[in-house]
């Protein structure tokens, strides 16, 4: 089986390569791995070694021939490439995220692949109530106030159109919650908190008082568990959407336990939205208020379909995943061979 991973040096991509390298060690003659990324990682070091690499930008018209060539002879394509920064250049984000997906699907169709597996997100969903679980049938039309959500919804529409036009190709999409791992600590801190705040954040925060809206309810999952879900989709040549998240659902009460807060100070979600928007406009943080709107609106996902069809269940709890990434942010941890996941300056390299 020939598997191509697009966006193979990022957070989910690195975890998936780790998983696939494990499968390869058990079945060395049965898997051939292709990695596609904008920047080449150090291919002499795990998990990037033993992979056929292609460097290209899926959003660039001029790189489409390279993409088609890279997918020639591939059985399953896993499309993970996505940009969340620069948050102030929406044209660039759209080119990579939406145009890039369209280019991947066209190239996959021309290459005659048997399966396309795409990284969607909980953020693709339309606003939903938080007091019950929503399965994959909930509308994936995004939320207007979040560029991330709009782009994920546009991606979902492209996948629907491709699946209808190419009935012979299995089209699957994973809709995970927030994906965390220690090795992505430096990247996540840089993208969402900025260099100053991420440097000041301790590995295990302690807040005597946690200001949090009552409806700040979301889901998370460890990157290694997401990688296992991708492998099961590939191995079973599954199709359709799959919600992927660990338990428990993260509430203000769970967050208070994580940061060892003695009390929770309830604040309106609208106040948090305005505060984040102001901090973004003042360039204190790199993340705009659309992320707050999305957090307030996304559903609490039912992951029963992944359990029934894939036999998948998270091995790491959502709390452990959050603690893992907080430790990584505080220490500036990463993976030295990856340009995206490189440790913060001055941090000892990790292999």
Provide the residue ranges of all domains of the chain, joining segments of one domain with +: 2-179+222-245+300-315
Q: Are 297 and 153 in contact (CB under 8 A)?
A: no
Instruction: List for the chain the helix, strand, coil content (%; round to 5).
Output: 45, 15, 40
Q: What is the pLDDT of residues 77-123, one digit of tens each?
A: 999 999 999 989 999 999 999 999 999 999 999 999 999 999 999 99
Calculate mean pLDDT across residues 199-203: 78
Give start and end residues of each alpha helix (H) in the chain: 11-26, 64-70, 90-94, 100-111, 147-165, 185-188, 195-200, 223-236, 252-258, 269-281, 290-297, 304-305, 318-331
Q: For residue 351, what pLDDT is reported?
A: 34
Give the pLDDT confidence of 3-15 residue by residue, as tens digits.
999 999 999 999 9
Mean pLDDT of 316-343: 93
Categorize the per-residue pLDDT at 347 as very low, low, confident or very high, splitting at 50, 70 and 90.
Answer: very low
The stretch 293-303 carries a mean pLDDT of 96
Give φ, ψ of 161 to 5 degrees: -65, -40
The answer on pLDDT for 198 being more than 90 is: no
Q: Report the pLDDT value the prediction gives residue 46, as an integer from 0 to 100.
A: 93
Closest CA to 287 of 170, 147, 174, 154: 147
Give the mean model confidence (pLDDT) for residues 317-345. Answer: 92
Mean pLDDT over all residues of the chain?
A: 94
Q: How does residue 349 score in pLDDT terms, banded at 50, 70 and 90?
A: very low
Average pLDDT for 264-289: 94
Distance separating alpha carbons of residues 39 and 118, to the nearest angstrom: 20
In degrees, rounded to 5, the angle at the alpha carbon of residue 133 between the alpha carbons of residues 307 and 314 is 35
| Angle between helical axes of 11-26 and 223-236 (0-180°, round to 10) | 50
Name the architecture of domain 2-179+222-245+300-315.
Answer: 3-Layer(aba) Sandwich (3.40)
């Amino acid at each position: 089986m020939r598997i191509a991973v697009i966006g193979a040096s990022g957070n989910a991509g690195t975890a998936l390569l780790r998983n696939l390298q494990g499968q390869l060690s058990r079945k060395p003659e049965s898997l051939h791995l292709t990695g596609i990324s904008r920047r080449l990682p150090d291919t002499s070091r795990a998990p990037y070694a033993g992979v056929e690499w292609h460097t290209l930008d899926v959003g660039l018209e001029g790189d489409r021939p390279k993409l088609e060539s890279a997918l020639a002879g591939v059985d399953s394509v896993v499309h993970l490439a996505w940009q969340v920064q620069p948050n102030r250049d929406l044209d660039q984000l759209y080119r990579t995220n939406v145009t890039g997906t369209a280019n991947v699907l066209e190239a996959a169709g021309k290459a005659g692949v048997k399966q396309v597996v795409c990284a969607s997100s909980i953020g693709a969903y339309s606003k939903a109530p938080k007091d019950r679980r929503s399965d994959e049938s909930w509308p994936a039309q995004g939320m207007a106030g979040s560029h991330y959500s709009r782009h994920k919804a546009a991606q979902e529409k492209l996948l629907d159109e491709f699946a209808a036009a190419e009935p012979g190709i299995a089209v699957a999409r994973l809709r995970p919650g927030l994906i965390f791992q220690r090795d992505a600590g430096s990247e996540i801190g840089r993208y969402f908190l900025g260099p100053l705040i991420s440097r000041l954040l301790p590995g295990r925060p302690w807040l005597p008082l946690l200001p949090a809206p009552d409806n700040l309810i979301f889901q998370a999952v460890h990157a290694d568990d997401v990688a296992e879900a991708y492998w099961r989709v590939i191995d079973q040549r599954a199709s359709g959407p799959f919600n992927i998240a660990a338990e428990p659902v993260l509430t203000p009460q769970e967050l208070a336990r994580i940061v060892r807060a003695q009390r929770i100070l309830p604040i309106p979600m609208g106040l948090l939205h305005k505060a984040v928007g102001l901090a973004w406009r003042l360039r204190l943080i790199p993340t705009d208020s659309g992320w707050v709107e999305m957090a307030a609106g996304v559903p609490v996902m039912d992951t029963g379909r992944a359990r029934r069809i894939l036999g998948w269940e998270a091995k790491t709890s959502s709390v452990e995943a959050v603690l893992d990434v907080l430790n990584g942010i505080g220490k500036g941890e990463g993976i030295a061979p990856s340009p995206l996941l490189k440790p913060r300056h001055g941090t000892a390299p990790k292999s």
